[in-house]
């Protein structure tokens, strides 16, 4: 795709963006789950089931708080930063006005998603009376993007950032979809995620198209420089360190014996995914690399040989 072939999704945004079309989501006081069991396997482990199943809802509520915290960081500190600079034409990779206009709709959407998430957190605290434990001040991308940018020439940092954000936005879409499909959780949670998904589907396509415009026009030397750094980014992005640290803090907050706490820690430690082609996010990442045309390049295939099936 060449830059002049880009077609704006502005009309679709005007008609369907959740900030323009959705009422406030209110959390229900019912018996359904506030967070999917499948997304917090700690509560499904043998030790938890045997020793403290009555603490399930506390763990799920805290897991929701972390998810919301992650969304706010991702939307306001990661995506907003890149999209805003593109929209204001302060990005090293030049894009036509249609792209920059769409980038501003992404800014509006992402900040709105963060606002809605914060509202939902406050509603959940009011309903449950459960205050959040200390939440992480960063997400994996907070480390992964700076690590990648430090490895490329200054002139390529914006291009590298574009690709990193594109990968992240395309993996988030499936993450949110898993919530929206889960019938065990409260309707407000499903609705919140469905609203988010409606926007994120548009965003994932936007980032893939911008990456495609950049990649197809980039000199071979620039492609090779960026390709060589993709494993650095993925190595940091796919790590489970932050999630594991949170799970350990959550275990420490449970009123259980030290022996039970240690057993829970061992089970949580075993939940980490290997950082290779078996990682569950790899399918989404490779799909982005295909849709952006990056995976057609031999340099990308070579750089990611350990991640390809």
- Whether the pLDDT of residue 37 is over 80: the answer is yes
- Residue 20's pLDDT band, with cuts at 50, 70 and 90, is confident
The per-residue pLDDT of the chain, averaged, comes to 92
* pLDDT score recorded for residue 96: 94
- Whether the pLDDT of residue 67 is over 70: the answer is yes
Residues near 21 by Cβ (< 8 Å), separated by ≥ 6? 15
* pLDDT score recorded for residue 49: 96
Least confident piece of the model among 80-94, 170-184, 240-254: 170-184
* pLDDT score recorded for residue 175: 66
- Whether the pLDDT of residue 101 is over 80: the answer is yes
- Whether the pLDDT of residue 224 is over 90: the answer is yes
For range 39-62, the mean pLDDT: 96
- Residue 64's pLDDT band, with cuts at 50, 70 and 90, is very high
> The domain 36-303: what is its CATH number?
1.10.620.20
* pLDDT score recorded for residue 159: 98
For range 190-211, the mean pLDDT: 86
The pLDDT tens digits of the residues spanning 146-179 come to 999 999 999 999 999 999 999 999 887 666 677 6
Signed CA dihedral, 243, 77, 87, 162: sign only: negative
- Whether the pLDDT of residue 211 is over 90: the answer is yes
For range 95-102, the mean pLDDT: 95
* pLDDT score recorded for residue 32: 92
Please report, for the chain, the start and end positions of each structural domain, with discontinuous segments joined by +. 36-303
- Whether the pLDDT of residue 118 is over 70: the answer is yes
* pLDDT score recorded for residue 186: 92
* pLDDT score recorded for residue 151: 97
165 or 16: which carries more pLDDT confidence? 165
Integer Cα distance of 286 and 296 in angstroms? 11
């Amino acid at each position: 795709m060449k830059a002049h072939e880009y077609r704006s999704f502005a009309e679709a945004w005007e008609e369907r963006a959740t900030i323009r079309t959705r009422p406030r989501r209110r959390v229900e006081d019912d018996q359904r789950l506030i967070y999917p069991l499948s997304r917090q396997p700690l509560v499904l482990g043998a030790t938890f089931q045997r020793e403290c199943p009555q603490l399930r809802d506390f763990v799920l509520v805290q897991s929701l708080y972390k998810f919301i915290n992650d969304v706010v960081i991702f939307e306001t500190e990661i995506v907003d930063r890149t999209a805003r600079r593109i929209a204001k034409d302060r990005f090293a990779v030049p894009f036509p006005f249609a792209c920059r206009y769409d980038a501003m709709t992404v800014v509006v959407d992402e900040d709105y998603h963060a606002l809605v998430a914060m509202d939902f957190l406050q509603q959940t605290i009011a309903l449950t009376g459960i205050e959040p434990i200390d939440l992480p001040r960063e997400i994996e991308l907070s480390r992964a993007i700076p690590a990648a940018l430090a490895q490329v020439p200054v002139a390529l940092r914006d291009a590298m950032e574009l690709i990193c954000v594109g990968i992240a936005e395309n993996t988030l879409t499936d993450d949110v979809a898993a919530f929206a499909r889960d019938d065990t959780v409260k309707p407000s949670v499903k609705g919140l995620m469905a609203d988010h998904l409606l926007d994120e589907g548009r965003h994932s396509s936007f980032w893939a198209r911008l990456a495609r415009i950049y990649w197809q026009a980039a000199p071979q030397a620039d492609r090779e420089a960026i390709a060589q750094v993709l494993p650095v980014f993925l190595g940091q992005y796919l790590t489970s360190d932050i999630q594991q640290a949170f799970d350990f803090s959550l275990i420490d907050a449970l009123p259980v014996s030290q022996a039970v706490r240690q057993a829970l820690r061992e089970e949580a430690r075993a939940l980490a995914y290997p950082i290779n082609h078996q990682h569950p996010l790899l399918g989404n990442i490779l799909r982005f690399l295909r849709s952006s045309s990056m995976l057609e390049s031999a340099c990308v295939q070579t750089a990611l040989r350990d991640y390809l099936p």
